[in-house]
Amino acid sequence: MIEIKLGDISQLAFQVDAIVNAANADLIPGGGVDGALNRAAGPELKEAMAKIGGTTVGSAVLTPAFDLPATYVIHAVGPRYIDGAHQEKVLLTAAYEAVFRLAHEYKLHSLALPVLSSGIYGYPKAAAAQILYEVATRPENQQFKTTVIVFEPEWLLIFEKLK
C-alpha cells in the first residue's frame, strides 16, 4: 500500500518503523532531507552514520532513528542526475530496491520516504516518482505501509498520474 502525503519528513506526526533518508555516499549529513532528518534526530544520528563510514550509490544502510518518530533510519543513496545516459535509472532503482530489501530483512511494516535524487541531485521529478512507484508497488513490497512524504504540492499531481 502506497500513500502520498504533503509535509516535512523530519516532522512526522505519526510513528513508522523506518524513515528513509536521502543520504550521500559518504554518509556525512548534508542539506535537504538529510540535513533536516539529522537536525530532528539529534547528534547521535550523525555519529551512527559516521561509524558506518559510507556506502555506494544505489545502496542503503540502516541506523537507529534516535529522536525521530521511527525505530530506524534507512540511509539510501540515489544518483546525481547527469543526462540519463549514466546508469541513473539503474542506480535509482537499486537504491529503492535496497530500501525494501532492508525492510524485508528487518521485518518492518511501515516506511516513510522521500523521492530520492529529486532535489539537489537533479533527477527529473516525474521520472524519479515513476521509479519509486514501480518499486514500492511490486507484489513483494505490497505488505508495507509505504508513505511517500513530499514537500511541494506539485508532487501530488505527479503521483496521481501514476495510479
CATH code assigned at 124:
3.40.220.10
* pLDDT over 90 (residue 96): yes
Average pLDDT over the chain, rounded to an integer: 97
Full residue range of the structural domain in which residue 52 is found: 2-160
Q: What is the mean pLDDT of residues 95-109?
A: 98
Q: What is the mean pLDDT of residues 41-52?
A: 98
pLDDT band at 1 (very low <50, low <70, confident <90, very high): confident
Which residues are known to be catalytic? 34
What domain count does the chain have? 1
What is each CA distance from 70 to 21, 37, 41, 92, in whole angstroms? 12, 11, 10, 24
Query: φ and ψ at 100, to 5 degrees?
Result: -70, -30
What does the angle CA 45 – CA 8 – CA 136 come to, to the nearest 5 degrees? 85
Take residue 5 and report the three cell numbers written for it: 502525503
Q: How confident is the model at residue 144, as a pLDDT?
A: 98
Whole-model pTM?
A: 0.97
Q: What is the mean pLDDT of residues 127-146?
A: 98
Cα(18)–Cα(101) distance, rounded to whole angstroms?
13
